[in-house]
């Protein structure tokens, strides 16, 4: 059997960046992937000429010039700027929370008018040190925006009351007193023209990959002694859930191909923020690439609690899970021969740029001598 320097578990961004950098340092890698394709959650499926983001909409954004230049080696990016629309009952609002949102909500025009209303609403609660997502939202933006645009969406997305969720989740979203619908503050943003697969394909190049191969099955039948492991699956699964399972949210994507509709919703991302509508958002994939092919493809996202055996998407980084993760991280520290990385290996709500940065840091550390 061919021997490799590294066994990389998972062909998502973390595993692929690691393999690419390892090869530059003259190391050999075998990537094993339990799905039937490479790419992890950034994988796209071409449906009638439209790149469908199969595991949820992925918009690349970063403040780091280094990461932007790095990813641009593998694809050309378009000028897509994410500007979701929120639907609350029969009202439509722009996201993130900005002057367009405030103007629509209160019929006002100027930043001073918006600030006055928000300050008044904040004063009603007088929260100095927000302890949870609800307190954070109320102290950032006041009651009206919280109740119409945050509460219902967040409780559907996370299946928990906003008082039980960590504040940092809502700090991902900008609050702006300008008429600017850009969902991100990052300097660099876009979608790879032609989809994400090319990035992973180029990173993995001629690296050997075994699809439909899970780590536990692989080690049953193969001798992996002498190989170092890079593990990007669930950390709790690696340790056989010995302290109990970490909690995740999963998403069910209900994808519809609409050959007779050219433009279903006029925007790539439309969020449904009221509690009563069971899905969180509808993605219309063609708009990520400004495509004018006939027909369209949409995906409704339904969020639910994860159980062993289905896909884990979002780590739930509340106090209880973070404490449990620490116990697994302490075991991971002792595994001299294993590097844990990525969203599942580190149990972190990481965006793509953060995963690339973490993988580059891991390889810099690993190959500093060579
Ligand atoms: P993954 O992509 O999950 O790859 C891990 C791979 O390992 C998977 O292919 C999995 O099948 C495989 N694997 C797991 N366990 C095993 C095992 N035991 N044996 C073999 N293989 C295994 N980030 C952004 O920057 N912008 C966005 O707009 C954005 N939107 C997102 C939307 C959704 C719905 C989700 C879930 C995430 C989103 N992200 C976004 C985050 C982004 O997906 C991640 O940052 C990135 O893809 C994580 O890469 P990874 O390699 O850590 O994990
Ligand atoms: N959120 C919200 N209303 C929205 C969109 C987002 O309250 O219309 C909150 C929600 O709690 C969500 C968080 O902001 O989990 C982060 O949103 P983001 O769009 O970054 O989520 P992701 O793309 O990671 O699913």
| 64 neighbors 357 (Cβ within 8 angstroms) | yes
Rounded to a whole number, what is the distance in angstroms from the first to the last CA of the chain?
26
142 lines ligand 1 (CB under 6 A): no
CA of 342 to the centre of ligand 1 (A): 7
CA of 197 to the centre of ligand 1 (A): 13
**Antiparallel, parallel or unpaired: β 208-210 and 281-284:** unpaired
Residue at token pair 């641009």: 72
Q: Which of 267, 259, 233 is nearest to 338 (CA)?
A: 233
* pTM of the predicted model over 0.95: yes
CA of 319 to the centre of ligand 2 (A): 19
pLDDT of residue 93: 98
What's the pLDDT band for 172 if we cut at 50, 70, 90? confident
- CA torsion sign for 320, 348, 54, 83 is positive
Q: What is the pLDDT of residues 283-336, one digit of tens each?
A: 999 999 999 999 999 999 999 999 988 999 999 999 999 999 999 999 999 999
Catalytic residue among 35, 281, 343, 346: 281
172 is catalytic: yes
Cβ neighbour number for residue 326 with a 10 Å cutoff: 11
Supply the residue whose CA is at minimum distance from atom 19 of ligand 1.
214
- pLDDT of 370 > 90? The answer is no
- pLDDT of 212 > 90? The answer is yes
Supply the residue whose CA is at minimum distance from atom 7 of ligand 2.
150
Q: What is the pLDDT of residues 25-40, one digit of tens each?
A: 999 999 999 999 999 9
Provide residues with CB under 6 Å of ligand 2: 86, 95, 149-150, 153-154, 157, 169-170, 172-173, 271, 273
- pLDDT of 102 > 90? The answer is yes
Supply the residue whose CA is at minimum distance from atom 12 of ligand 2.
154
> d(Cα 258, Cα 262) in Å, to the nearest integer?
8
Q: From the CA of 168, which ligand is nearest?
A: 2
3-state secondary structure the chain: CCCCCEEEECCCHHHHHHHHHHHHCCCCEEEECCCCCCCHHHCEEEECCEEEECCCCCCEEECCHHHHHHHHCCCCECCCCCCCEEEECCEEEECCECHHHHHHHHCCCCHHHHHHHHHHHHHHHCCCCCCCHHHHHHHHHCHHHHHHHHHHHHHHHHCCCHHHCCCHHHHCCCECCCCCCCCCCCCEEECECCCCHHHHHHHHCCCEEECCCCHHHHHHHCCCCCCEEEECCCHHHHCCCCCCCCCEEEEEEEEEEECCCCCCCCCCEEEECCCCCCCCEEEEHHHHHCCCCCCEEEEEEEEEECCCCCCCCEECCCHHHHHHHHHHHHHHHHCCCEEECHHHHCCCCCCHHHHHHHHHHHHHHHCCCC
């Amino acid at each position: 059997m061919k021997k490799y320097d590294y066994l990389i578990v998972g062909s998502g961004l973390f595993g692929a960046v690691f393999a690419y950098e390892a090869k530059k340092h003259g190391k050999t890698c075998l990537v094993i992937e339990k799905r039937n394709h490479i790419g992890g959650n950034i994988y796209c499926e071409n449906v009638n000429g439209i790149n469908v983001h199969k595991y949820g909409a992925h918009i690349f954004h970063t403040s780091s010039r280094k990461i932007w230049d790095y990813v641009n080696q593998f694809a050309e990016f378009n000028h897509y700027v994410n500007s979701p629309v929120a639907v609350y009952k029969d009202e439509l609002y722009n996201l993130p929370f900005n002057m367009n949102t405030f103007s629509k909500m209160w019929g006002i025009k100027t930043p001073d008018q918006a600030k006055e209303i928000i300050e008044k609403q904040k004063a009603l609660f007088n929260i100095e040190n927000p302890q949870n997502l609800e307190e954070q939202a109320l102290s950032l933006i006041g009651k009206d925006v919280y109740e119409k645009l945050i509460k219902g969406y967040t409780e559907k997305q996370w299946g928990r009351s906003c008082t039980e969720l960590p504040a940092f989740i809502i700090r991902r979203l900008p609050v702006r007193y300008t008429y600017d619908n850009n969902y991100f503050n990052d300097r660099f943003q876009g979608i790879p023209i032609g989809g994400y697969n090319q990035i992973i394909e180029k990173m993995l190049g001629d690296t050997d990959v075994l699809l439909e191969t899970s780590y536990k099955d692989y080690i049953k039948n193969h001798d992996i002694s002498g190989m170092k492991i890079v593990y990007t699956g669930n950390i709790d699964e690696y340790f056989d859930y010995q302290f109990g399972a970490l909690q995740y949210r999963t998403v069910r994507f209900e994808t519809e191909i609409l050959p007779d509709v050219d433009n279903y919703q006029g925007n790539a991302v439309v969020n449904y923020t009221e509690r009563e509508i069971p899905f969180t958002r509808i993605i219309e994939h063609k708009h990520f690439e400004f495509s004018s092919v006939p027909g369209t493809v949409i995906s409704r996202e339904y969020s639910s609690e994860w159980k062993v055996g289905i896909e884990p998407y979002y780590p739930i980084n509340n106090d209880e899970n973070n404490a449990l993760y620490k116990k697994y991280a302490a075991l991971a520290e002792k595994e001299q021969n294993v590097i844990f990385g990525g969203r599942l290996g580190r149990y972190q709500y990481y965006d793509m740029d953060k995963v690339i940065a973490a993988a580059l840091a891991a390889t810099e550390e690993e190959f500093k001598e060579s």
